[in-house]
Chains A and B, each alone.
Chain A
Amino acid sequence: MTFGDKKYRYRFALIFGILLLFFLVLFSATVGAANISIFDALRILVRRIPFAGRFVPAGEISRTHELIVLNIRLPRVIAAAIIGAGLSAVGATYQGMFANPMADPYVLGVSAGAALGASIAIVMGTDKVVGGFGIITAVAFVFALLTVFIVFNIAKTGVKLSNTHLLLAGVAVSFFASSVMSVLMVLNRDKVSNITYWMMGSIAFTSWRQVLILAPLVVAGIVVVCVFARELNIIAVGEDEARSLGVEVEKVKKLLLVVCSVVVAACVAVSGVIGFVGLIVPHTVRLISRSDNRVVLPFSAIGGGMFLVLCDTISRIPTAEIPVGVLTSMFGAPYFISVLIRNKKKVV
């Protein structure tokens, strides 16, 4: 079936997916260590929704419970949805653009750069908060963008951006940043556990202010990427061919690279390195449906959001919280392998 035949079915599925993600976020905010019943938590949430809230009686909900649900759980759950969506959409874009199934959101060195920035901030002992942001977050964001900027400039030849050069420069710069980070860790052994914990990826301490900056940035990025899905499809057939069809390949690539880099840098700066989401979610979407980017990009975003919210919910159940970055791989890998095996059978 071609894209056109299924256009309306995809639109319906997309709206359904967005609603599902919305309810998943609500549900996830009712789960946690504090002893708040799901019913109470739902009441707290629904009361905050305009109009609908009027019909929910206030009852006897303690102020602490309200604070826990609204100011601790809700921002982190929303952050999970946004970061998951952003990482998956970028992963899908890179896989399409580089024609490389192994491309993930971190291939251009964003994660290594952010980690280096974060470790420098941790080593210097600046855990101050400026305007709702930890210094660590800010430094990680700046270093992430700086790293990609260096990678771009290494890879650029004239006006052209070669995929191979980009990927190789990304790998080389990543290794360099990681080695500098290792030296920092060796010289500051007392900070090793802090740095390692940051690297594992966690969204446990996300504030509303972080969410309010992260959300528009990432959502706008996802929209831009989805708008260019048609160009990405054509580029995937061949860059020369795309040019002869009137696609301005270099412009499109540069625009998408800049947008994706900002999205990933923002996500990583807030959450640390959450791996695997950007790799497996797009591939799962491709295996289940098809490789048309007009389908893969939006559904990867929604799927990534749902996946990270689920992982984050699970990470809150045990008494000692497990960083969500660990769980994504722990649950994601087996699921992905099972999809892979099922598909192998289909082909043979």
Chain B
Amino acid sequence: MRQGKAYSIEVRDIEVSFGDLNVLKGISLQMEKGRFYGILGPNGSGKTTLLKSMARALRPQKGAIYVNGEDISRMKARELSKKIACLYQSTGIACDYPVMDVVLMGRYPYIKRFQTESAKDWEIAKKAMIASNVWHLKDRRINEISGGERQRVFIARALVQETDIVLLDEPISHLDIQHQIEILELVGKMAREGKTIIAVLHDLNFASMYCDHLIMLKDGKVIAQGEPQKVLTEETVNKVYGVKPFIIEGMDGSRPYILPLKRQGA
């Protein structure tokens, strides 16, 4: 067994490759409870692969991932799903289940075969839906509601799963700004209430505004990590994205705001 402090989630030296393509080349991270982590990086840098490895949707060829000191590769599926919830990029889903039933799916790991949802499961679902402001949608069908509403329904489902860790793959892509802010505030609140939140994000400014800790990936490696003002520097942004930014510092406390500049000669 490992020694020292048991992190909420610890990634230790993982490598993932698809055929000849090495997507993650030795990544190590330690994440603590009650914080909001943002994973940033250009397309193809390995963000989603990292997230999927943490959700055990992928098995790294090398290295291991620990939740509270426990190796996730040895856990049973239901056991793991009581520790980590994962929201994938919500594609327009092809089914017409009522919102309430979708949220109740989050109770799956807690319900034995030949059992149905108990009154307690319903109470938990109701509480989660009120928290993520979707209770009024409970009888609507999941394919009828808007993208922002649907994302909140899936967050309610993650809450219902009662995990310490919630992973989110681009939770605010394809949403308009008011919904982006709504989702990030909801997720930030979940972190303050004690969950470990890890989200893949594209928008550097939203990441800067809401995350406690940023992890910048490029070509399957961690280029920089730490507080937003430490990571979102002119040098790092230029190095990772090949774009020269103009950085406004301290607009929201000490969090930087980034304006991408037109490339010379373009």
B138 at the interface (CB under 8 A from A): yes
Q: Is the CB of A291 within 8 A of B96?
A: yes
Q: Is B117 a contact partner of A245 (Cβ separation < 8 A)?
A: no
Give residues of chain A (174-221) contacting chain B, Cβ–Cβ below 8 Å.
none
- Contact between A246 and B113, CB atoms less than 8 A apart: no
Pick the interface stretch among A128-136, A231-239, A262-270: A231-239
List residues of B (105-129) whose CB comes within 8 Å of A's CBs: 105-106, 108-109, 111, 113-114, 116-117, 122
Query: Within the complex, what minimum Cβ distance (angstroms) separates A158 from chain B?
Result: 10
CA distance A246 to B81 in the complex (A): 5
Is residue A247 contacting chain B, with contact meaning CB distance below 8 A?
Answer: yes
Stretch at the interface among A1-9, A76-84, A312-320: A1-9
Q: How far is the CA of A247 from the CA of B56 in the complex (A)?
A: 12
- The answer to the question of B223 belonging to the interface, with a C-beta cut-off of 8 Å to chain A, is no
**In B7-47, which residues have CB < 8 Å from any A CB?**
none
Taking A227-B114, A292-B101 as contacts, is the C-beta distance between A245 and B108 under 8 angstroms?
Answer: yes
Chain A nearest CB: distance from B91 CB in Å?
Answer: 7
Asked if B77 and A236 make an inter-chain contact with CB atoms under 8 angstroms apart, the answer reads no
Are A4 and B116 also in contact (CB < 8 A) when A244-B86, A248-B77 are?
yes
Closest Cβ of chain B to A77, distance in Å, is 32
Are A241 and B82 touching (Cβ within 8 A)?
A: no
B107 closest partner in A (C-beta)? A245
Give the complex CA separation of A234 and B80 in angstroms: 17
B85:A244 contact, CB within 8 angstroms: yes
- B49-91 toward A: CB 8 Å interface, digit per residue (1/0)? 0001001110000000000000000000111111011111001
Nearest CB of A to B96, in Å: 5
Beta-carbon nearest neighbor of B161 in chain A: A245
Out of A1, A236, A241, which one reaches B98, CB within 8 Å? A1
Of the listed residues A4, A99, A230, A244, the one surrounded by the most CB atoms of chain B closer than 10 A to its CB is A244
**Chain A residue nearest to B82 in the complex (CB):** A246
Asked if A230 and B97 sit within 8 Å, CB to CB, the answer is: no
Give the residues in chain B near A245, CB-CB below 8 Å.
Answer: 81, 105-106, 108-109, 161
CB neighbours (8 Å) of A1 from chain B are 98, 139
Any chain A CB within 8 A of the CB of B94? yes
Known: A2-B100, A4-B122, A233-B97. A247 touches B108 (CB 8 A): yes
A244-B81, A246-B80, A290-B96 given; A234·B88 CB < 8 A: no
Known: A4-B122, A7-B116. Is A236-B82 also a contact (CB below 8 A)? Answer: no
Shortest CB-to-CB span from A78 to chain B, Å, is: 28
A222 smallest CB distance to B (angstroms): 16
Among B86, B108, B109, which residue has the most Cβ atoms of chain A within 10 A? B108
Taking the closest CB of chain A, its distance from the CB of B78, in whole angstroms, is: 4
**Nearest CB of chain A from residue B100's CB, rounded to whole Å:** 4
In the bound complex, CA of A7 to CA of B88 (Å): 30
Q: Is B93 an interface residue (CB 8 A)?
A: yes
Which chain A residues (286-306) contact chain B, with CB distance < 8 Å?
290-292
Using an 8 Å CB-CB cutoff, how does the interface string of A242-285 with B read, 1 for contact, 0 for none? Answer: 01111110000000000000000000000000000000000000
Q: Is A240 an interface residue (CB 8 A)?
A: yes
On chain A, the residues within 8 Å of B102 by CB distance are 237
Verify B98–A2 contact, CB threshold 8 A. yes
List A contacts of B96 (CB < 8 A): 290-291
Residue contacts A-B, CB under 8 angstroms, 17 given: A1-B139, A4-B122, A227-B113, A230-B108, A234-B105, A236-B95, A237-B105, A238-B88, A238-B91, A238-B93, A243-B55, A243-B57, A244-B57, A245-B109, A246-B79, A246-B109, A247-B77
| Other A-B pairs beyond A7-B116, A233-B95, A291-B95, 9, CB < 8 Å | A2-B98, A2-B138, A4-B104, A4-B122, A237-B93, A237-B102, A238-B91, A240-B86, A292-B97
Sorted nearest first, the 5 A-B pairs with minimum C-beta distance are A246-B81, A244-B86, A246-B109, A246-B78, A2-B100
Report B's interface with A, CB cutoff 8 A.
52, 55-57, 77-82, 84-88, 91, 93-98, 100-102, 104-106, 108-109, 111, 113-114, 116-117, 122, 138-139, 161
